C-alpha cells in the first residue's frame, strides 16, 4: 500500500506516483505580500508543510517552489495609498511572512520566486499564447480566450454552457458568476501609478494568474507532480493556470491538484474582507507561541473545515506540553533490562502513523498513534520496565514522527541563564539547610510560570505554556 492523495481534478483519492521515481516536484501558491498573513492563510501553508514533510518521511526527494505575489491589484492599491514604491511596500510584509513561517516551524521552500523578478518569463509566455491565438489584445490589455480551450473548467468541474463568449474580466480575483476571458497582461492606467514595465507587450503589468504558470515552469518544468492551494484558489486562479500552461505548452501541466479547506470563525471563512481574522502576531501577543498555532492548524484533516476558537488554542498548549514532557522523560531513562513490549509498541505506532497519513494525510488517527505511543511508553517508564537501549529507539521513532509533525520546537526564553543561576542558588541554599531561601526561589519562579522538578539527574525546569 502506498500513499494516496485526493486529487481535485478527478475528485478521487489516487495512488501517488511521481513523474520521476523517488522525486517530487511541488508548487504551492504563496502569499500576496500586501499585509500580514492571517492564520487562515497559514492553514494552507501548514497543510503544504505537512504534505512536504510526509513525502520526505516516505523517502521522496522534494523540490518545493512557493511564489511571492509582490505585484497585483491589492499590492498596487496599497502602495499607492501609502505613497511609497511597490518594492518598499511589499518588503515589509515579505519579511513578516518569513518571520511568521519560522514561528510556525514551517520548513522553507527551495525557491521563493517573486513575481516582479520574473516579468520577462511572463512576457514570453503571453507572447506564446498570442502567437497561438489563445490570447488577444484589447486597448493595451491582453486576455486569454477561454472558448478556444475546451478543457476550461476541468478542475473546478464547472458547467461551461452558460459561458458568454467574449465577455471579459480584468480584475485578478472574481467569482463563478464572472467566468469569462481573463487578463494576462494589463495595460498601464493611472491607477497603477509608477508600477509598470515597458515590454514587448506594451507598457503595463502582468495579471495575477500568469505568474504561477511562468514561475512554476521555470523552476519545475512544464509538467510537474503536485500543485496546492486553498479551495478558493480552485476557481479562478488554478483553472486559469491550467489554461495558460496547457495551451502554451501542449502538455499536461500538473498531475495532482490538492486543496485545503478553510479555517472558519463562527461559520464564516476567516478573511481580511470579513474582518474576522487573527494574524499570528495577534495570537502571539496574547501569549500563544507560534508552535501552539501550528498544533491547532495541523490537527484537523486538511479537507475538513477547521473552526477556530481560543479554547482550541488552549487545548493545543496542553497537548504540546504532554509531548515535550514525554520527550524529556524518555531521555532520562536509565534502566538496563530491555523490554520486548517497547519494540512492539514502536512497530505498532509506526504502522498506524504511516497507514493514516498514507490515506490522504489523515492526521487524526496519525496523532492518535503518537499519543497512544506516549501513553503506553509512559506506563512502561512508570513501571520501571524499560531500558535505556529501548528508550533510545523510542526517541528515534518519536523524532521520526516529529520530522513530519514539527511540534518539538519549544519557544525560546531569553531568561534561561538567569533561571540556571537561580537553580544554582537554590541548590546552594539547600546544601546549607537554608530551606526558607530555597523554597522562596522555587515559589518566585513558579509565579513566573517556571516549574522546577528535582530528579536523580539534578534539578530540571520547564516553562508552563
Ligand atoms: P491569498 O494571499 O489571499 O492569495 O491567500 C493565500 C493562501 O491562503 C491561498 O492558498 C488561499 O486559498 C489560502 N486561504 C485564504 N483564506 C483562508 C482560510 N480562511 N482558510 C484556509 N486557507 C485560506
Ligand atoms: Zn498561484
In the structure, what pLDDT confidence band is assigned to residue 162 with cuts at 50, 70 and 90?
low
Indicate whether residue 269 lines ligand 1 (CB < 6 A): yes
22 pLDDT higher than 70:
yes
| d(C-alpha 309, C-alpha 313), whole Å | 7
What is the model's pLDDT at position 464? 81
Give the residue with greater pLDDT, 17 vs 164. Answer: 17
Q: What is the pLDDT of residues 225-283, one digit of tens each?
A: 999 999 999 999 999 999 999 999 999 999 999 999 999 998 899 998 899 999 999 99
Q: Which residue has the higher pLDDT, 116 or 458?
A: 116
- Name the DSSP class of 184: E
Query: Per-residue pLDDT tens for 387-419?
Result: 999 999 999 999 999 999 999 998 876 667 788
Q: What is the signed CA dihedral for 321, 326, 329, 334, rounded to 10 degrees? A: -170
Which ligand is closest in space to the CA of residue 232?
1
**Distance between Cα 66 and ligand 2 center (Å):** 9
User: Does 237 sit in the ligand 1 pocket, CB within 6 Å?
Assistant: no
Tell me how far the alpha carbon of residue 461 lies from the centroid of ligand 2, in angstroms: 45
Torsion of CA 278, 281, 284, 289, to 10 degrees: 100
Mean pLDDT of 149-171: 84
Percent of the chain with pLDDT over 90: 85
pLDDT in tens, 67-116: 999 999 999 999 999 999 999 999 999 999 999 999 999 999 999 999 99
Residue 46 CB less than 6 A away from ligand 1? no
The secondary structure of 317-375 as a DSSP string is: HHHHHHHHHHHHHHHT----S--HHHHHHHHHHHHHHHHHHHBTS-HHHHHHHHHHHHH
Which tens digit of pLDDT belongs to each residue from 191-208? Answer: 999 999 999 999 999 999
Give the pLDDT confidence score for residue 239 in this predicted structure.
96
Instruction: Compute the distance between CA of residue 28 and CA of residue 49 in angstroms, rounded to an integer.
Output: 10
Grid cell digits, residue 389: 537501549
The minimum-distance atom of ligand 1 relative to the CA of 231 is 12
Closest ligand to C-alpha of residue 234 is 1
Contact between 107 and 98 (Cβ < 8 Å): no
The cell numbers describing 415, all together, are: 531568561
CA of 29 to the centre of ligand 2 (A): 4
Give me 28's grid cell.
504551492
Of the listed ligands, the closest to the CA of 44 is 1
Quick one: which atom of ligand 1 is closest to the CA of 44? 22
Is the beta carbon of 300 within 6 A of some atom in ligand 1?
A: no
The answer, yes or no, to whether any atom of ligand 1 lies below 6 A from the CB of 233, is yes
pTM for the predicted model, two decimal places: 0.91
Per-residue confidence (pLDDT) for residue 141, from 0 to 100: 96
Q: How far is CA 404 from CA 77, 311, 313, 356, in A?
A: 39, 25, 20, 13
Ligand 1 pocket test: which of 37, 44, 50 has the largest number of ligand atoms within 8 Å of its C-beta? 44
Q: What is the pLDDT, as a whole number, of residue 414?
A: 60
Burial string for 252-288 (b: 16+ CB within 10 Å, else e) reads ebbbbbbbbbbbbbeeebbbbeeebbbbbbebbeeeb
Q: Is 217 in the pocket of ligand 1 (CB under 6 A)?
A: no
**Ligand (nearest to CA of 33):** 1
Average pLDDT on 21-26 reads 98
The residue whose C-alpha atom lies closest to atom 17 belonging to ligand 1 is: 40
Tell me, using a 6 A CB cutoff, whether residue 32 lines ligand 1.
Answer: yes
pLDDT at 146 exceeding the cut of 90: yes
pLDDT at position 413 is 65
Cβ contact 328:458 at 8 Å: no
Residue 59 binned pLDDT confidence (cut-offs 50, 70, 90): very high
Q: Residue 263 C-alpha to ligand 1 middle, in angstroms?
A: 9
Ligand nearest to the CA of 207: 2
For 10, which DSSP code? T
Task: Choose the residue to mutate in 31, 41, 155 for probing ligand 1, maximizing ligand atoms within 8 Å of C-beta.
Answer: 41
Residue bearing cell 489554461: 243
Ligand 1 close to Cβ of residue 41 (< 6 A): yes
pLDDT at 189 over 70: yes
Q: What is the pLDDT of residue 167?
A: 82
Which whole-number Å values give the CA distances from 90 to 61, 69, 170, in the listed order?
32, 9, 22
Write down the pLDDT at residue 411: 82
Mean pLDDT of the chain: 94
Residue 104 CA to residue 67 CA, distance in Å, equals: 19
Residue 261 CA, ligand 1 centroid: distance in Å: 9
Gap between the Cα atoms of 120 and 136, Å rounded: 19
Q: Which of 40, 70, 237, 263 gets mutated to test ligand 1 (max ligand atoms within 8 A of its CB)?
A: 40
* Residue 170: how many other CB atoms lie within 10 Å: 17
Amino acid at each position: 500500500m502506498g500513499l494516496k492523495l485526493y486529487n481535485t481534478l478527478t475528485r478521487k483519492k489516487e495512488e501517488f506516483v511521481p513523474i520521476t521515481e523517488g522525486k517530487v516536484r511541488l508548487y504551492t501558491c504563496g502569499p500576496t505580500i500586501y499585509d500580514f498573513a492571517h492564520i487562515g492563510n497559514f492553514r494552507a501553508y501548514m497543510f503544504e508543510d505537512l504534505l512536504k514533510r510526509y513525502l520526505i518521511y516516505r523517502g521522496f526527494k522534494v523540490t518545493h517552489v512557493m511564489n511571492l505575489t509582490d505585484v497585483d491589484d491589492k499590492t498596487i492599491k496599497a502602495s499607492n495609498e501609502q505613497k511609497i514604491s511597490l518594492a518598499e511596500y511589499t518588503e515589509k510584509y515579505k519579511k513578516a511572512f518569513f518571520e511568521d513561517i519560522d514561528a510556525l516551524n514551517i520548513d522553507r521552500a527551495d525557491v521563493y520566486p517573486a513575481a516582479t523578478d520574473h516579468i520577462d518569463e511572463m512576457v514570453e509566455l503571453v507572447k506564446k499564447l498570442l502567437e497561438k491565438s489563445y490570447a488577444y489584445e484589447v486597448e493595451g490589455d491582453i486576455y486569454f480566450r477561454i472558448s478556444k480551450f475546451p478543457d476550461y473548467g476541468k478542475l473546478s468541474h464547472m458547467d461551461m454552457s452558460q459561458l458568454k463568449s467574449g465577455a471579459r474580466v480584468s480584475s485578478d480575483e472574481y467569482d463563478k458568476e464572472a467566468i469569462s476571458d481573463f487578463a494576462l497582461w494589463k495595460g498601464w492606467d493611472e491607477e497603477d501609478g509608477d508600477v509598470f514595465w515597458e515590454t514587448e507587450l506594451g507598457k503595463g503589468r502582468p495579471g495575477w494568474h500568469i505568474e504561477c504558470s511562468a514561475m512554476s515552469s521555470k523552476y519545475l518544468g512544464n509538467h510537474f507532480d503536485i500543485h496546492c492551494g486553498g479551495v478558493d484558489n480552485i476557481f479562478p486562479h488554478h483553472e486559469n493556470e491550467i489554461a495558460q500552461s496547457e495551451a502554451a505548452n501542449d502538455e499536461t501541466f500538473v498531475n495532482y491538484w490538492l486543496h485545503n479547506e478553510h479555517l472558519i470563525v463562527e461559520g464564516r471563512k476567516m478573511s481580511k474582507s470579513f474582518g474576522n481574522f487573527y494574524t499570528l502576531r495577534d495570537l502571539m501577543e496574547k501569549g500563544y507561541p507560534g508552535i501552539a498555532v501550528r498544533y491547532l492548524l495541523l490537527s484537523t484533516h486538511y479537507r475538513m473545515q477547521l473552526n477556530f476558537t481560543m479554547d482550541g488554542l488552549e487545548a493545543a498548549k496542553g497537548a504540546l506540553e504532554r509531548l515535550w514532557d514525554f520527550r524529556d522523560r524518555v531521555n532520562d531513562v536509565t534502566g538496563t533490562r530491555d523490554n520486548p513490549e517497547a519494540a512492539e509498541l514502536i512497530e505498532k505506532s509506526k504502522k498506524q502513523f504511516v497507514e493514516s497519513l498514507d490515506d490522504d494525510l489523515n492526521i487524526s488517527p496519525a496523532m492518535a498513534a503518537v499519543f497512544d505511543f506516549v501513553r503506553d511508553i509512559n506506563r512502561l517508564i512508570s513501571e520501571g520496565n524499560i531500558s535505556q537501549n529501548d528508550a533510545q529507539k523510542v526517541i528515534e521513532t518519536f523524532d521520526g514522527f516529529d520530522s513530519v509533525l514539527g511540534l518539538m520546537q519549544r519557544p525560546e526564553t531569553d531568561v534561561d541563564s538567569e533561571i540556571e543561576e537561580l537553580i544554582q542558588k537554590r541548590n546552594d541554599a539547600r546544601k546549607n539547610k537554608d530551606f526558607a531561601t530555597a523554597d522562596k526561589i522555587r515559589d518566585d519562579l513558579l509565579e513566573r510560570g517556571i516549574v522546577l522538578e528535582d530528579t536523580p539527574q539534578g534539578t530540571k525546569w520547564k516553562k508552563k505554556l
